[in-house]
């Protein structure tokens, strides 16, 4: 979807200033949000792409005025309400007001640490041969989906070249709608700055993004 989260190439936000010796967490509550988000996700009521989309559906003013973990917390509140794990009244009260919805057992701390260390593979067997190969010229489709997408606005309608074929992976746009993994080929596409931003683009700069096959068309089509 087109929302406040898609900041690539937008102006007026000032430079990105790195914080020297930045801590992992700036406050103790951020640790708790991370733990809550991971523990709630392990209940199996939603998947990672649904969780990302929950963050994206925050109002742009709310999204842009929130810190990283504030966004995570607000997205989690939307998820637990949407999936019947809590009501807005319970969130406001800070305690349960109704019997809990049955879910799979919550993970133990040890099980969660093991799962995070192990990671989750998202590669899948391809359903068909790859449409594109390294060095092929492609164009990113000019799409404006209402649901989750990983194609940034600044690349839509722009022409680039396939730099690498990563393999087939879970398609996040479908996974966010709980339509199953719907695996697609994933490519690294290289764009020139001039192609993305016209004559104001740095002539010495190229930019690469990862794009799923359904985002792309051969050029000329």
CA 217 to chain centre: 22
Burial status of residue 215 (CB atoms within 10 A of its CB: 0-12, 13-18, 19 or more): buried
- Where are any strands of DSSP class E within 43-158? 137-140
Domain boundaries, the chain: 28-118, 137-218
pLDDT in tens, 183-195: 999 999 999 999 9
pLDDT at 14 exceeding the cut of 60:
yes
CATH of the domain spanning 28-118: 1.10.472.20
Distance CA 70, CA 190 (A): 33
The reported pLDDT for the residue numbered 12 is: 87
The pTM score is 0.90
CATH of the domain spanning 137-218: 2.30.30.50
Helix (H) or strand (E) holding 89: helix 88-93
- pLDDT grade for 219, boundaries at 50, 70 and 90: confident
The reported pLDDT for the residue numbered 8 is: 85
* Half-sphere exposure (Cβ direction) of 66: Cα atoms closer than 13 Å: 19
pLDDT at 132 exceeding the cut of 80:
yes
pLDDT in tens, 102-129: 999 988 999 999 999 999 999 999 999 9
Closest CA to 108 of 39, 47, 169, 154: 39
């Amino acid at each position: 979807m087109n929302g406040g989260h898609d900041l690539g190439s937008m102006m007026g936000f000032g430079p990105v200033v790195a914080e020297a010796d930045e801590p992992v967490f700036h406050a103790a509550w951020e640790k708790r949000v991370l733990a809550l988000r991971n523990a709630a996700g392990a209940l199996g009521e939603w998947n990672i792409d649904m969780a990302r989309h929950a963050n994206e559906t925050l109002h742009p003013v709310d999204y842009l005025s929130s810190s990283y973990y504030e966004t995570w917390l607000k997205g989690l509140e939307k998820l637990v309400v949407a999936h019947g794990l809590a009501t807005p009244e319970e969130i406001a009260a800070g305690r349960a007001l109704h019997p809990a919805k049955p879910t799979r057992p919550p993970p133990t701390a040890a099980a969660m640490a093991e799962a995070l260390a192990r990671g989750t593979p998202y590669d899948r067997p391809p359903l068909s041969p790859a449409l594109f190969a390294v060095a092929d010229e492609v164009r990113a489709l000019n799409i404006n989906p209402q649901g989750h997408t990983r194609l940034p606005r600044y690349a839509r309608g722009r022409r680039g070249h396939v730099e690498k074929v990563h393999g087939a992976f879970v398609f996040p746009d479908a996974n966010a709608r709980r339509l199953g993994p719907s695996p697609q080929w994933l490519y690294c596409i290289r764009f020139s700055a001039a192609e993305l931003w016209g004559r104001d683009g740095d002539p010495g700069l190229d930019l690469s993004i990862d794009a799923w096959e359904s985002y792309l068309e051969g050029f000329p089509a």
